[in-house]
Amino acid sequence: MVSSRILHCYLMLILLSTSLLGNCKDSPKYPVEDLIDIQGMDVYKDGALLHAVLVGKQANSGETLVAYIRSNDDGETWEKPVMINSKGGGKVVSRRGNEAQVAASGNRVVVVFNQSTELPNAGSMTIAYSSNKGVNWQLGANPAVGDVTHNQSYMDMAVDKAGTFHLVWLDDREENGNTQGLRYAKSRDGGRHWRGDVTLDPAVCTCCWNRLLVLPDQSLAALYRDDDPHDMHLVRVSADGKSWRNLGAVGAFDWRFNGCPHCGGGIASAPGKKEPLHSVVWSGKENSSGLFYLVSGDLGEHWSKPLNIADGQSRESDIAILADGRIGVVYVGPSDEGDGVQFISSSDQGKSWSPPRRLSANGLVTDHPRIVSTSTGFRVFWTEKHPSVGKVLAMVFVTQLEGEKS
């Protein structure tokens, strides 16, 4: 067992031994020092507040816990973690890609994670909500009332301007076996009760993460991987949640594949009523695999021709937009600087892109980076594996983009 003091010293050595990254504010930081072997991570931005949920093992006990942390200053400092799940309250099921999720609006915070039932490494959603900024937590109702299998996965959440929480997830209530259905529900009381449990698409890929985004007109965009072909698709849900429409492929590659690539995509929009919608998707189609960028000027009705921004080894991507329109993309893949978490940016609405810049230290196994925009630049989060302590959460500030003067 690794003590908190040993872990603290170990992480300080990592910080001291990691060289400064070009054009980054600092070398990687480690916001949570007493949670190791991170199995799940999500970050959500609400104004100047950053909210994060982590699933990992407590350093001094080895018990798997769901921890909530928040930053009141765009990630400069972080408050002490609050543990959400109770000891002995059921085994938490999480893995990178199939994460616990967090969303927030004002004083209200909602976290959703999985706890196992009959099936190994699977289970039903657990909703935890707080009405006082994450200090105290209560359990809400599971919105998947029509799923008799009690096995939901690949959740994502978002909150609109009215404070309504929206949730998408996958389950196999039709018991198709080789596909799952994409479901949706909403909560107007901060996660306590949910309405909906509607099917947006009855047959999608079984194990690729979904992304949910509130659009400038307050409708919702759900980005997910379809079953046949295995291209990424977009469904748009009306602001009231009563109607929805599948807008088709985000990058029509016509990729036919028997299996699951375990790779979703990213979607983002800058603040403003007429701002374009940006997406990054990965395709494994033979002879044309890679990471692709697309943009839509009409909220997903039509998309630009896919622009190849990285090779087929470049996966686990995410995208964010600064208020001035600059775009940041992160992914795990190779570059001239070495393998790891890579960052690329565009200052001309995605027409051209900077060379990849590695954010993680050389030689570390990294996975599933997330990127959020703040008033002072991008914040990038990922997990990286270290000896003895397993995966830990790492964070980097990117405040200067390629080509800018220092």
* pLDDT digits 0-9 by tens, 357-404: 999 998 899 999 999 999 989 999 999 998 878 888 899 999 866 555
Domains, in order of start, for the chain: 1-30+313-400 (no CATH), 33-204 (2.120.10.10)
Q: What angle do CA 372, 378, 379 make, to 5 degrees?
A: 65
Contacts for 98 with CB less than 8 Å, ≥ 6 apart: 40, 114, 153, 154, 207, 209
Residue 214 to residues 3, 110, 148, 219, 254, Cα–Cα distance (Å): 42, 16, 29, 6, 27
In the 3-class helix/strand/coil scheme, how is 345-403 assigned residue by residue?
A: EECCCCCCCCCCEECCCCCCEEEEEEEEEECCEEEEEEEEEECCCEEEEEEEEECCCCC
- Distance CA(362)–CA(372), nearest Å, equals 23
Specify the pLDDT at position 51.
Answer: 97
Q: What is the reported pTM?
A: 0.91
For 151-164, the pLDDT digits (tens) are: 999 999 999 999 99
pLDDT by residue (tens digit) across 223-237?
999 999 999 999 999
Three-state DSSP at 322 gives: coil
Confirm if 173 and 228 have CB atoms less than 8 A apart. Answer: no
Closest CA to 260 of 333, 206, 314, 209: 206
The amino acid present at 374, given as its one-letter code, is: T
The pLDDT value given to residue 406: 37
pLDDT at 404: 52
Is residue 154 a contact partner of residue 208, using CB atoms and an 8 Å limit?
yes
Q: Tell me the mean pLDDT in the region 141-169.
A: 95
Chain segment 78-119, per-residue pLDDT in tens: 998 999 986 556 788 889 999 999 999 999 999 999 998 666
Q: How far apart are CA 221 and CA 227, in angstroms?
A: 18
- Does residue 240 carry a pLDDT above 60? yes
Looking at the DSSP bridge assignments, the partners of residue 195 are 186
Cα-to-chain-centroid distance, residue 388: 26
Smallest CA-to-CA distance from 184 within 218, 217, 224, 150 is with 224
Mode of pairing for the β-strands spanning 108-116 and 138-140? unpaired
Cβ-contact 71, 153 below 8 angstroms: no
Q: Name residues whose C-beta falls within 8 Å of residue 209's C-beta, 6 or more positions apart in sequence.
A: 97, 98, 99, 154, 156, 264
User: Could you give the CA distance from residue 266 to residue 280 in angstroms, rounded to a whole number?
Assistant: 5
More confident residue, 391 or 278: 278
pLDDT of residue 398: 94
Q: What is the CA radius of gyration of the chain?
A: 20
> In the chain, pLDDT over 70 holds for what percent of residues?
87
The residue type found at 6 is I
Instruction: Judge whether residue 241 has pLDDT over 70.
Output: yes
271: pLDDT strictly greater than 90: no
pLDDT band at 61 (very low <50, low <70, confident <90, very high): confident
Q: Which amino acid is at 167?
A: L
Give the residue among 186, 194, 298 at the shortest CA–CA distance from 242. 186
Token duo for residue 388: 């003895």
Indicate if the pLDDT at residue 18 is higher than 60.
no
CA atoms of 30 and 162, how far apart (whole Å): 34
Which whole-number Å values give the CA distances from 299 to 80, 219, 328, 358, in the listed order? 38, 9, 19, 32
pLDDT score, position 64: 86
How far, in Å, CA of 213 to CA of 250, rounded?
15
Q: What's the pLDDT at 252? A: 94
